[in-house]
Chain A
Amino acid sequence: MKIEELLERARNWDKLAIAKLITMAEEGVEPQLDVRRRSHVIGITGPPGSGKSTLIYTMARKIPQDKRVAILTIDPSSPFTGGSFMGNRIRMQELTSKPNIYIRSMATRGIRGGLNYATVAAINILEYAGADYIFLETVGAGQSDTDVKYVADTILVLVPPLSGDEIQALKSGLMEIGDIYVVSKSDNPASESTYRDLMAMVDMVREIKGETWRPTVLKVSGLYGYGVDELLKVIDDRFGELMKNGRLDNTLRSRRTLEMRLYAYDLLEKSLNEAKDLESKVINGELSPRDAARRLLNYYDKPRLDHVAVAIKNIDEAARKFRELGLRVSDPIVVEEQGVKVVMVMLGNTKIELLEPLGPETTVAKFIEKRVRVFTT
């Protein structure tokens, strides 16, 4: 199926087309998508075992059937094999056959162990496909929890019933990013004290940050279904408020810069994997590890010579000669506004730009008249 057809079908919430587009994004294809409207992107984070999947299942089940719901669930990839055991669907499988719900498991892939560019691309695709809600379930540890704030409009932090000490430990990472705090497993008697601790903490953060949205603390049991209606209402209220004060665009902007950064990480990882010659130079002591790293990122070529422009009378003839020398030469292009025909000759880390004037009145023609000829043809 062609990408245009997939895009067309994805607009109608065709899950097969959405799935194929996400796979293509994972493989590096970047489709051009116009966003007509914003989805509410809700990041769900919290330590492993805090009940993230169960809560998403319970929420998604209660959202009216005329709303499109997408669930992206992230599992860690093995740093050794690249494989991933993706088990988050287990709790959500009952939703699989509902027409309004799309669920996709994605692996962290790559060196950082957080979100990757494909996750952001998937959010773009789902938004394009017209999702009303996009739930993004993080792995619940490390990098992904800081990444999520750049893509999500609302961050929901799940906190299982914990002791006071454990809450203190958790505070450092999660307590700055949440918009809604949920004490999960509220059927557990220990949840009451966790709730009180969180309330006190949120009040403190609220004063420091001085933001318009007041972080909310709720008690919910995904497993037994308590408190879910209230949570959904808070989520919708939050979206309304973001829309009202125009802050939805902020996440759209930060999402774009995050995608850039994540894609750059990926490119870096690829070039690291391909830099076998640099690696062997480091191993046999020819290069220091840091020098090799700088060389990998072209640090030493900065400021780098991009190309040398050479004005010439007969460009086709010159191109033929360069080809005969075994060099890679581009097809000629005409740049009307500058009055030149251009051919690029590739020289490894730099290029020669050959320019032939299109007429005698052009700048380049005049330039040639004044100077010595570089090449005789």
Chain B
Amino acid sequence: MSVADRLREKYDEWVREFLIPTLKRVPEWRKFATSFGVEIKPLYTPLDVKGDYLEKMGFPGEYPFTRGIYPTMYRSRLWTFREYSGFGSPEDTNKRYKFLISQGQTGLSVAFDLPTQLGLDPDHELAYPEVGKVGVSVPEVVSMSILFNGIDISKITTSFTINATAAEILSMYITVAEGVGIDKAVLDGTIQNDILKEFIARNLYIYPPLHSMRYAVDIIAYTSRNMPKWHPISISGYHFREAGATAVQEVAFTLADAIEYTNWVINRWKMGVDDFAPGLSFFFAATTNLFEEVAKFRAARRLYARIMRERFGAKKLESMKLKFHVQTSGATLTAQQPEVNIIRTTIQALAAVLGGAQSLHVNAYDEALALPTERSVKLALRVQQVIAYESGVIDSIDPLGGSYYIEWLTDAIEEEVMKIIDYVDKLGGMTRAVEIGYPQRAIAESAYQYQKMVEEGKIAVIGVNMFREEEEELHIELHRVDPVSRERSIKRVREVRERRDREAWERALNDLRRAAELEDENIFPYILNAIRAKATVGEVSGVLREVWGEYKPPSIY
């Protein structure tokens, strides 16, 4: 009898003689299933792990990267501690950045306000109530220079959560760097520039899908040639998860987006996959479901490596490595008993680290109520530091690899993800799928089912549907955006408009308009040129709106 047969026999015996009789006496107190609806067995054994170790797992830094993308992982270099932050005017945010750096943060991550993200200047009628609210107002290049005042941007890596106006923001950053004598080629950082996920979940889009894709892809082509260290896109699943997607949908739609962008760059710019794929980066969520999240990251890494090598014929290992940032899930935070959120985010951050993330943001405990205070964001940073320096989870690479449960879960996620990717292929890729609203509908459905399960008590939320305190009193101090910052922002954008060289500005915008009309032109250099001529974000996207129109989303039921 083979080893496997003997194990099978012993396992069946255990189920028959131990498990079933015990269950009759002490039945399970609930059903156990993954977030994507697959039943979880009481125990996993080598019988559940199929396939060859070398083929499926291999070694860190080697294809298919299941165990990690670097041979040494956190033993040589920790992940980047990167708290997403921004509010009010650039002066306010600059102060917060310096505070975070003084507390041990190792990378910056800029949150912009809604007007900046949607290409509206702060004195626009629709912008006014929103200036400086969910992020910092940066409508022109002077504001950008204030934002990084006193920070050496040739040393620190900065991530910009910016999409529909990504080119304008990157252009401002380049212009500020050049102003202090730093060549753009040495700049290191990321712009999110993932417009597909805006259409699917985050909703901060401006132009229709085809024009938006051109815009995004033109940036990728430009930085791949001119800014070798820059990540021109952070393909994001985070927002799918926050909008209600399951772990499987999160990975599937993210990878389907990656396929779409890759196809676009190849078709539009006739570039080889290895010429730009090393610059692609990713962004996922981490919920409190620890093992499922770890398995999710491992499955995503393996799937991406396969897609890049087998589907696109990538040769360079760098093109196959899934480099990703993680943010703990904002949707899991509760307004009730907010201090409990610190416990949630700790487990979530642990999932990211055990899953091999390159960069991490931990949410502050008060974010279901307002933007974080200095105190709450410091605590969030401390969560990362405790995990990194005290817990010992970084001592060995991929410490959960080889757990029968984790390996089974990794395979299960991979299998379910592939079903969705195949379906998107049938629809003709993600741009088409988005136009007919397929991923939007799928996520809305998951969100509704999730909420119903919370209502029915099938999903536990401590403080909300379990251990709820009626008449709860809040004892925490909340962040307030200084109302003066809005006026400061408006005043500055008006000054910039008055003081610039009118002729150069006008010429730059006219050139931009012509380039937008010509389909074969790379739009990015024209935007860079306009920003250098002190055009505002509202003026640049105003020109593009005129030429390309604005997107109206399909109805989602």
Is A–B contact present in the complex under a CB 8 A cutoff?
Answer: yes
- B554 cross-chain contacts in A, Cβ below 8 A: 49, 53-54, 90-91
- B551 cross-chain contacts in A, Cβ below 8 A: 223
Q: Are B553 and A91 in contact (CB under 8 A)?
A: yes
- B556 cross-chain contacts in A, Cβ below 8 A: 87, 90
Binary flags per residue of A167-190, CB closer than 8 Å to B gives 1, else 0: 000000000000000000101101
- A85 cross-chain contacts in B, Cβ below 8 A: 557
Q: A87-B557, A88-B555, A91-B554 known; A224 and B208 CB under 8 Å?
A: yes
Once the chains are docked, how many angstroms separate the CA of A92 from the CA of B552? 8
* Nearest neighbor of B557 in chain A, beta-carbon distance: A85
Q: Are B555 and A87 in contact (CB under 8 A)?
A: yes
Q: Are A57 and B557 in contact (CB under 8 A)?
A: no
* Nearest neighbor of B211 in chain A, beta-carbon distance: A224
Once the chains are docked, how many angstroms separate the CA of A187 from the CA of B436? 13
A225 in the interface, Cβ–Cβ < 8 Å?
A: yes
B437 in the interface, Cβ–Cβ < 8 Å?
A: yes
**Quick one: which of B208, B549, B555 contacts A53, CB cutoff 8 A?**
B555
Q: How many residues of A contact B (CB 8 A)?
A: 18
**Quick one: which of B208, B437, B555, B557 contacts A223, CB cutoff 8 A?**
B208
Tell me, rounded to whole Å, the shortest Cβ–Cβ distance linking A290 to chain B: 38
- A224 cross-chain contacts in B, Cβ below 8 A: 208, 210, 549
Q: Are B555 and A187 in contact (CB under 8 A)?
A: no
Tell me, rounded to whole Å, the shortest Cβ–Cβ distance linking B199 to chain A: 12
- A49 cross-chain contacts in B, Cβ below 8 A: 436-437, 554
Most B CB atoms within 10 A — which of A91, A185, A223?
A223
Once the chains are docked, how many angstroms separate the CA of A135 from the CA of B458? 45
Once the chains are docked, how many angstroms separate the CA of A59 from the CA of B555? 18
Q: Are B549 and A54 in contact (CB under 8 A)?
A: no
**Quick one: which of B435, B549, B552, B555 contacts A185, CB cutoff 8 A?**
B435
Q: A223-B435, A224-B210 known; A90 and B553 CB under 8 Å?
A: yes
Once the chains are docked, how many angstroms separate the CA of A49 from the CA of B209? 16
* Nearest neighbor of A222 in chain B, beta-carbon distance: B552
Q: Are B549 and A225 in contact (CB under 8 A)?
A: yes
Binary flags per residue of A76-96, CB closer than 8 Å to B gives 1, else 0: 000000000101101110100
B432 in the interface, Cβ–Cβ < 8 Å?
A: yes
- B432 cross-chain contacts in A, Cβ below 8 A: 188
- B209 cross-chain contacts in A, Cβ below 8 A: 223
Tell me, rounded to whole Å, the shortest Cβ–Cβ distance linking A218 to chain B: 19
Q: Are B549 and A91 in contact (CB under 8 A)?
A: no
- A91 cross-chain contacts in B, Cβ below 8 A: 552-555
Once the chains are docked, how many angstroms separate the CA of A224 from the CA of B212? 12
Once the chains are docked, how many angstroms separate the CA of A94 from the CA of B432? 24
Tell me, rounded to whole Å, the shortest Cβ–Cβ distance linking A128 to chain B: 29
Once the chains are docked, how many angstroms separate the CA of A57 from the CA of B549? 13
Interface residues of A in 47-92 (CB under 8 A from B): 49, 53-54, 57, 85, 87-88, 90-92
**Quick one: which of B210, B428, B552, B557 contacts A54, CB cutoff 8 A?**
B552
Tell me, rounded to whole Å, the shortest Cβ–Cβ distance linking A52 to chain B: 10
- B210 cross-chain contacts in A, Cβ below 8 A: 187, 224
Once the chains are docked, how many angstroms separate the CA of A159 from the CA of B128? 42
Binary flags per residue of B427-457, CB closer than 8 Å to A gives 1, else 0: 0100010011100000000000000000000
Once the chains are docked, how many angstroms separate the CA of A94 from the CA of B545? 15
* Nearest neighbor of A223 in chain B, beta-carbon distance: B208
* Nearest neighbor of A92 in chain B, beta-carbon distance: B552
Once the chains are docked, how many angstroms separate the CA of A188 from the CA of B429? 12
Interface residues of A in 204-225 (CB under 8 A from B): 223-225
Q: Are A90 and B549 in contact (CB under 8 A)?
A: no
Q: Are A57 and B208 in contact (CB under 8 A)?
A: no
Once the chains are docked, how many angstroms separate the CA of A225 from the CA of B209? 13
Q: A85-B557, A87-B557, A187-B210 known; A223 and B436 CB under 8 Å?
A: no
Q: A49-B437, A185-B435 known; A57 and B552 CB under 8 Å?
A: yes
- A92 cross-chain contacts in B, Cβ below 8 A: 552
Binary flags per residue of A84-111, CB closer than 8 Å to B gives 1, else 0: 0101101110100000000000000000
Tell me, rounded to whole Å, the shortest Cβ–Cβ distance linking B545 to chain A: 13
- B549 cross-chain contacts in A, Cβ below 8 A: 224-225
Most A CB atoms within 10 A — which of B551, B552, B557?
B552
Tell me, rounded to whole Å, the shortest Cβ–Cβ distance linking B126 to chain A: 12
Tell me, rounded to whole Å, the shortest Cβ–Cβ distance linking B528 to chain A: 26
- A225 cross-chain contacts in B, Cβ below 8 A: 549
- A53 cross-chain contacts in B, Cβ below 8 A: 554-555
Most A CB atoms within 10 A — which of B428, B549, B551, B554?
B554
Once the chains are docked, how many angstroms separate the CA of A49 from the CA of B301? 34
* Nearest neighbor of A94 in chain B, beta-carbon distance: B552
Once the chains are docked, how many angstroms separate the CA of A88 from the CA of B556? 9
* Nearest neighbor of B555 in chain A, beta-carbon distance: A87
* Nearest neighbor of B441 in chain A, beta-carbon distance: A49
Once the chains are docked, how many angstroms separate the CA of A188 from the CA of B554? 16
- B436 cross-chain contacts in A, Cβ below 8 A: 49
Tell me, rounded to whole Å, the shortest Cβ–Cβ distance linking A192 to chain B: 15
* Nearest neighbor of A51 in chain B, beta-carbon distance: B554
Once the chains are docked, how many angstroms separate the CA of A158 from the CA of B411? 43
Binary flags per residue of A186-202, CB closer than 8 Å to B gives 1, else 0: 01101000000000000
Once the chains are docked, how many angstroms separate the CA of A197 from the CA of B169? 47
- B428 cross-chain contacts in A, Cβ below 8 A: 188, 190
Once the chains are docked, how many angstroms separate the CA of A190 from the CA of B432? 12
Once the chains are docked, how many angstroms separate the CA of A53 from the CA of B209? 17
- B553 cross-chain contacts in A, Cβ below 8 A: 90-91
User: Top 3 A-B pairs ranked by shortest CB distance?
Assistant: A87-B555, A91-B552, A90-B555
- Provide a sorted-by-A list of 9 A–B residue pairs whose CB atoms are within 8 angstroms: A91-B552, A91-B553, A91-B554, A91-B555, A190-B428, A223-B208, A223-B209, A223-B552, A224-B210
Other CB < 8 Å A-B pairs besides A87-B555, A91-B552, 15 of them?
A49-B436, A49-B437, A49-B554, A53-B554, A53-B555, A57-B552, A85-B557, A87-B557, A90-B552, A91-B555, A185-B435, A223-B209, A223-B435, A224-B208, A225-B549
Which residues of A approach B to under 8 Å, CB–CB?
49, 53-54, 57, 85, 87-88, 90-92, 94, 185, 187-188, 190, 223-225
